[in-house]
Amino acid sequence: MNAPDRYERFVVPEGTKKVSYERDTKIINAASFTVEREDHTIGNILRMQLHRDPNVLFAGYKLPHPLQYKIIVRIHTASQSSPMQAYNQAINDLDKELDHLKNAFEIELAKHSREY
Amino acid sequence: MDGGVTYQRFPKLKIREMRDDVVKFELRETDASMANALRRVMIAEVPTVAIDLVEIEVNSTVLNDEFIAHRLGLIPLTSDRAMSMRFSRDCDACDGDGQCEFCSVEFHLRAKCLTDQTLDVTSKDLYSSDHTVVPVDFSDPNEPGEQRGIIIVKLRRGQELRLRAIARKGIGKDHAKWSPAATVTFMYEPMIRINEDLMENLSLEDKRSWVESSPTKVFDIDPVTQQVVVVDPEAYTYDDEVIKKAEAMGKPGLVEIEAKEDSFIFTVESTGAVKASQLVLNAIEILKQKLDAVRLSDDTVEADDQFGELGAHMRGG
Ligand SMILES: [Zn+2]
């Protein structure tokens, strides 16, 4: 009767930002990104992609609680970069990787469709 | 933004086997986070269409209304259109009442048993208002006579079922009935290296008992040369049994097995809602959309620029 709606797990409530950004007050070039209604799927690929960036000194994510439908991504970079720059870079690189993957799959698909 | 810096990967992909409902492929030169994201998206975030609302007109069957409604929800419907459909909750053309072409499809079912023979009510008795969204047909093309609908309920003489149902677009995260995936798994490709020097020194009997210590058939003995050979590396389940056996025999290092951390073998099985190959493509597309949704908005960046200036003022005095 009073169960929360299931879509609360993946629909961002009105008036809430999908991604919010908070600088670390003590450490320069460190910040936290709170991403609403995302989980390990996005958290883990972002973290691993950030690790490929040599300017990233630290990158990690956490899912604070299974019933709080958000993740927190924390990034600390060297002075040549910034958390925002690294975050955008990671998303762009992943996006391009997926474009490449889609292409590769379609080429393979065409090969196999011809065989049968 | 900044010209040309990239840490992008260029994964390699090879399809091994493909049927409508199953695809097996190798994914290389990427990492487990990408493989796992694809797996998770295929299971929980690629949309399909499934029955979500049922209005029962007559039900004199042995199953109660909600039991039947639940069974109807679980019937896979062909969902090639789902990627371009709208979710009823964000459709502005309707209130999700089943009359809307953008977000819902209406079904009717009417069945009554008039004989002493038990009547099976199956997914084939569901009549769709949209020929592109129909219950998945599992019949074997080699046996055209055989009807293989999914049984919803059985009727005896005099029992009747009459209902209207509305199917909507949804994702597995909301309810598993919307998941297009029967199973999606990936394994690391194993690298198996036999230490030939140590192996040479084993008697045939020892070789045989070592080969048989593996619960799956990974190794065998060549009948001609009597050498131990790897016959099926992918049968290895990372159970460590052959390694323990080698140690127990006093031959540690007889075999070295490692998981190649950048190579994955995927098995994707679909429920029939979309073709397995299409499921993979849809997952890539959905993952791209998800990434796009987590980009920083302009106002967030602007707010931080101001914060940065403020900080500089404070630091600079
Ligand atoms: Zn609508």
Query: Tokens standing for A78?
Result: 């060297």
Instruction: Give chain A's mean pLDDT.
Output: 95
B307 chain-A contacts, CB cut-off 8 A:
23
B294–A42: do the CB atoms touch at under 8 Å? yes
Q: Phi and psi dihedrals of A54, rounded to 5?
A: -65, -20
> What is the tens place of the pLDDT at every residue in B136-195?
988 777 776 677 799 999 999 999 999 999 999 999 999 999 999 999 999 999 999 999
B171–A45: do the CB atoms touch at under 8 Å? no
pLDDT at B301: 82
Q: Which residue has the tokens 């040549």?
A: A80
Segments of chain B scoring below 70 in pLDDT = 1-3, 96-98, 144-145, 306-317
Q: Which CATH class is domain B49-177?
A: mainly beta
Arithmetic mean of pLDDT, A71-87: 97
What is the C-alpha separation between B5 and A17, in angstroms, rounded? 29
**Distance (Å) from CA B167 to ligand 1 centroid:** 11
Q: Is B186 helix (H, G, I), strand (E, B) or coil?
A: strand
What residue type is assigned to position B250 of the chain? G
What is the C-alpha separation between B193 and B260, in angstroms, rounded? 13
pLDDT at B317: 40
- A97 → closest Cβ in B9, B18, B292: B9
pLDDT at A10: 95
* Contacts for B26 with CB less than 8 Å, ≥ 6 apart: B12, B13, B14, B16, B189, B263, B264, B265, B266
Residue positions counted in chain A: 116
pTM of the model: 0.91
Give yes or no for residue A116 having a pLDDT over 70.
Answer: no
Arithmetic mean of pLDDT, A66-70: 95
Spatial CA neighbour of B208 closest among B244, B242, B252? B242
pLDDT at B98: 65
B34 chain-A contacts, CB cut-off 8 A:
45, 48, 97
> What is the tens place of the pLDDT at every residue in A34-45?
999 999 999 999
What is the C-alpha separation between B297 and B50, in angstroms, rounded? 34
The domains found in chain A, sorted by start residue, are 16-113 (3.30.1360.10)
**Distance (Å) from CA A8 to ligand 1 centroid:** 20
| End-to-end Cα spacing for chain A | 53
Strands (E), A37-95: 56-62, 70-77
B290–A89: do the CB atoms touch at under 8 Å? no
Q: What is the DSSP letter of A53?
A: -
Residues 247-306 of B with CB under 8 A from A: 277, 280-281, 284-285, 287-288, 290-297, 300-301, 303-304
B174–A45: do the CB atoms touch at under 8 Å? no
| ipTM rounded to 2 decimals | 0.96
pLDDT at B298: 85
- B301 → closest Cβ in A9, A46, A84: A84
Extents of the domains making up chain B: 49-177
- A98 → closest Cβ in B284, B295, B303: B284
pLDDT at B94: 86
Arithmetic mean of pLDDT, A57-86: 97
pLDDT at B238: 94
Q: Under a CB-based contact definition with an 8 Å cutoff, are residues B110 and B116 in contact? A: no
Core vs surface per residue A73-98: b (16+ CB within 10 A) or e: bbbbbeeebbbbbbbbbbbbbbbebb
Strands (E), B196-284: 219-221, 228-230, 255-270
Measuring CA to CA, how many Å separate A6 from each of A16, A86, B46? 18, 33, 17
